[in-house]
């Protein structure tokens, strides 16, 4: 008799209900299965109407973020065996509007990513004839960690400030901005600082630190934000004490 585990999945079908409900499915328990495998089993064999996002199933695309037993996780990295005994609760990520079942709307996140100008900006582009921009391993090391973000939004789902203040620009966007600020090829740190010093920028963060805890790629967005605050404060002091030097 094959062992099974109960999966308590949040359902939301706006055409027939105004609030989410839970539906329980009995899925096979396999040692090597992750929650995503269980969800796909449900969709294939038990209930084809269940909606959820997924893609690479190996932790690089950032599509399958959901809450597993209350914690934001990538379902392709959340082993069933870690949540035994069941029932295992699967819900959509917090702090995003739920479109259907486990699918949330991510437009807000997409707009915030664009806001921080996540591309190399130079005062003057180098002509092709001069060759490539060169970077030492140490220069790469200063921003590499922040470049590992897969845009999975688990950090937004963990950040209570984002939950309380949806206009907060959020951990991933700030880490992304810092990734470019620290890149030796980029020259737009001041420009980004102006954007992120606004009311809903870095100063909203109170260093809860949960974003770093849930990040599946060890980006450490909380660290990025605190570094950014120090940078912003230093810049503020410099522009106060040496106004001519900040042009």
Partner 1 sequence: MPRSITPLLWLLFSAGGTVAALLFPVHVLLTGLAVPLGWLEAPSYESVRGLVRNPVARLYLFVFISLPLFHWAHRFRYTLYDGLQLKHLTELIAVLCYGTAILGTAMTAYLLWNIT
Partner 2 sequence: MSAGVHHTPYHPKWYRRRVSVWWWLQNRTYTGFVLRELTSVFVAFFALVYLWQLRALAQGPEAYAQFLARLKTPLFLVLDGVAFLFILFHSITWFNLAPKAVVVRLKGKRVPDWVVVGLNYAAWLVLSGAVAFIVLRGG
The binding site for partner 1 (CB under 8 A) comprises 160-161, 164-165, 197, 203, 206, 229, 232-233, 235-237, 239-240, 243
With CB cut-offs between 5 and 8 Å by kind, which of partner 1, partner 2, none does residue 56 bind? Answer: none
Continuous segment of H or E residues that includes residue 90 = strand 88-91
Spatial distance between the Cα atoms of 101 and 83, rounded to a whole number of angstroms: 21
Residue 96's φ and ψ, nearest 5 degrees, are -115, 150
Residue 226 or 239: the one with the smaller Cβ distance to partner 2 is: 226
Q: Minimum distance from CB of 159 to partner 1 (Å)?
A: 11
Rounded Cα distance between 118 and 3, Å, is 48
3-state secondary structure of 102: coil
Cβ distance to partner 2 smaller for residue 29 or 180: 180
CA 34 to chain CA centroid, Å, is 20
Helix (H, G, I), strand (E, B) or coil at 196: helix
Q: Which stretch binds partner 2 (CB under 8 A): 25-33, 61-69, 107-115, 197-205?
A: 107-115
Interface with partner 2, residue 20, by CB under 8 A: yes
User: If binding is defined by CB under 8 A, does position 98 make contact with partner 2?
Assistant: yes
Specify the pairing of strand 98-100 against strand 103-104: antiparallel
One residue of 163, 184, 185, 235 binding partner 2 per CB under 8 A: 163
* 130 contributes a contact to partner 2 by CB under 8 A: no
């Amino acid at each position: 008799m094959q062992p099974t585990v109960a999966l308590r999945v949040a359902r939301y079908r706006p055409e027939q209900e105004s609030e989410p409900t839970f539906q329980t499915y009995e899925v096979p328990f396999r040692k090597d299965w992750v929650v995503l495998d269980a969800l796909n089993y449900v969709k294939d064999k038990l209930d084809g109407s269940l909606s959820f996002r997924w893609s690479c199933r190996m932790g690089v695309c950032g599509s399958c973020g959901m809450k597993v037993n209350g914690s934001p996780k990538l379902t392709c990295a959340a082993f069933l065996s870690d949540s035994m005994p069941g029932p295992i609760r699967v819900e959509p990520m917090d702090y995003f509007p739920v479109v259907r079942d486990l699918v949330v709307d991510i437009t807000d996140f997409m707009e915030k990513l664009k806001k921080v100008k996540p591309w190399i900006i130079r005062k003057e582009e180098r002509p092709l004839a001069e060759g490539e921009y060169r970077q030492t391993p140490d220069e790469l090391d200063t921003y590499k960690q922040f470049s590992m973000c897969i845009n999975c939004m688990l950090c937004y789902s963990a950040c209570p400030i984002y939950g309380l203040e949806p206009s907060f620009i959020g951990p991933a966007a700030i880490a992304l901005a810092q990734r470019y600020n620290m890149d030796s090829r980029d020259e737009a740190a001041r420009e980004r600082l102006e954007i992120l010093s606004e009311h809903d920028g870095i100063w909203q963060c109170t260093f809860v630190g949960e974003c770093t805890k849930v990040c599946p790629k060890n980006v450490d967005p909380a660290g990025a934000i605190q570094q950014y605050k120090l940078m912003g404060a230093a810049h503020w002091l410099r522009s106060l004490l040496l106004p001519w030097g900040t042009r």
